[in-house]
Structure 1
Amino acid sequence: MGKILVTGATGNVGRHVVSQLAEAGLEVRALVRDPQRARLSVEMVRGDLTAAETLEPALRDVESVFLVWPGFATDNAADVVTAIAKHARRVVFLSANVADEPEMHYHEIERLVRHSGLGWTFLRPGGFAVNTLGWAEQIRQGVVRWPYGQAARSLIHEKDIAAVAVHVLTSAGHNGAAYVLSGPERLTQAEQVRVIGEVIGRAVRWEEQPAEEAREQLMAAWGNAEFVDGALTGWESFVTSPEQVTDTVRRLLGRPALTFRQWARDHAADFS
Structure 2
Amino acid sequence: MKRVLVTGATGNIGSEVVFYLSELNLKLDLTLGVRHLDSAKEKFYHIPTLQYRNFDFAEPNTFRSALEGVEILFLLRPPQIADVDTYFKPLLEAAKLNGIHKIVFLSVQGAEKSKMIPHYKIEKLILKLGFEYIFIRPSYFMQNLTTTLLPEIKAKRQITLPAGNAKFTWVDVKNIGETIALAIKNFDDYKNKALEITGTEHKNFYEVTELMSTIVGEQITYRSINPISFYIVKRKEGLSREFTLVMLLLHFLPRFQKTPNLSNEYQNLTGKEPTSLEEFIKREQQIFIGKKT
Same fold, judged at TM 0.5 (above): yes
Query: Using the alignment, how far apart are the partners of 1:90 and 1:6 within structure 2?
Result: 13
Query: Using the alignment, how far apart are the partners of 1:117 and 1:143 within structure 2?
Result: 45
Output one character per residue of 1:157-206: Cα deviation in whole Å (capped at 9) or x when no partner.
Answer: 11111111111100131111011222211111111112222332323233
Query: Using the alignment, how far apart are the partners of 2:13 and 2:175 within structure 1?
Result: 9
Contact 1:65 1:91 in 2 (8 A): yes
Q: Report the alpha carbon displacement of residue 242 of structure 1 after superposing the two structures with TM.
A: 2.3
Q: Percent identity?
A: 20
Q: 1:118 aligns with which of 123, 128, 131?
A: 131
- Residues 170 and 253 of structure 1, relative CA distance in 2, 3 Å threshold: same
SS for the counterpart of 1:87 is coil
Equivalent position of 1:10 in the other structure? 10
Equivalent position of 2:69 in the other structure? 61
Describe how 1:41-52 pairs up with structure 2 within 5 A.
Answer: 41=45, 42-52=50-60
Q: Does 2:269 correspond to 1:252?
A: yes
Query: Using the alignment, how far apart are the partners of 1:145 and 1:58 within structure 2?
Result: 40
Q: For structure 1, list consecutive stretches of 5 or more residues without a partner in the other structure.
A: none
Query: Using the alignment, how far apart are the partners of 2:245 and 2:224 within structure 1?
Result: 23
Describe how 1:141-220 pairs up with structure 2 within 5 A.
Answer: 141-171=156-186, 172-220=188-236
Equivalent position of 1:223 in the other structure? 241
Q: Report the alpha carbon displacement of residue 145 of structure 1 after superposing the two structures with TM.
A: 4.3
Q: Report the alpha carbon displacement of residue 147 of structure 1 after superposing the two structures with TM.
A: 4.0
The letter of the residue matching 1:120 is Y
Equivalent position of 1:32 in the other structure? 34
Q: Report the alpha carbon displacement of residue 226 of structure 1 after superposing the two structures with TM.
A: 4.2
Contact 2:227 2:252 in 1 (8 A): no
Which TM-score applies when normalising by structure 2? 0.83
Q: Report the alpha carbon displacement of residue 228 of structure 1 after superposing the two structures with TM.
A: 5.0
Query: Using the alignment, how far apart are the partners of 1:137 and 1:118 within structure 2?
Result: 39
Query: Using the alignment, how far apart are the partners of 2:91 and 2:55 within structure 1?
Result: 12
Contact 1:63 1:89 in 2 (8 A): yes
Output one character per residue of 1:65-116: Cα deviation in whole Å (capped at 9) or x when no partner.
Answer: 1111231012242221122232333110011223332132212221221133
The letter of the residue matching 1:46 is N
- Residues 227 and 206 of structure 1, relative CA distance in 2, 3 Å threshold: closer
Q: Does 2:89 correspond to 1:78?
A: yes
Output one character per residue of 1:28-74: Cα deviation in whole Å (capped at 9) or x when no partner.
Answer: 11100011122224221111122233122222232211111231012
The letter of the residue matching 2:125 is L
- Residues 99 and 163 of structure 1, relative CA distance in 2, 3 Å threshold: same
Equivalent position of 2:253 in the other structure? 234
Q: For structure 2, list consecutive stretches of 5 or more residues without a partner in the other structure.
A: none
Equivalent position of 2:150 in the other structure? 136
- Residues 52 and 266 of structure 1, relative CA distance in 2, 3 Å threshold: farther
Moved more, 26-35 or 196-205: 196-205
- Residues 44 and 212 of structure 1, relative CA distance in 2, 3 Å threshold: same
Contact 1:149 1:206 in 2 (8 A): no
The letter of the residue matching 1:230 is L
- Residues 54 and 212 of structure 1, relative CA distance in 2, 3 Å threshold: closer
Contact 1:153 1:242 in 2 (8 A): yes
Tell me the C-alpha RMSD between the 2 structures.
2.3
Moved more, 254-263 or 80-89: 80-89
- Residues 222 and 260 of structure 1, relative CA distance in 2, 3 Å threshold: farther
Q: Report the alpha carbon displacement of residue 213 of structure 1 after superposing the two structures with TM.
A: 2.9
Moved more, 185-194 or 51-60: 51-60
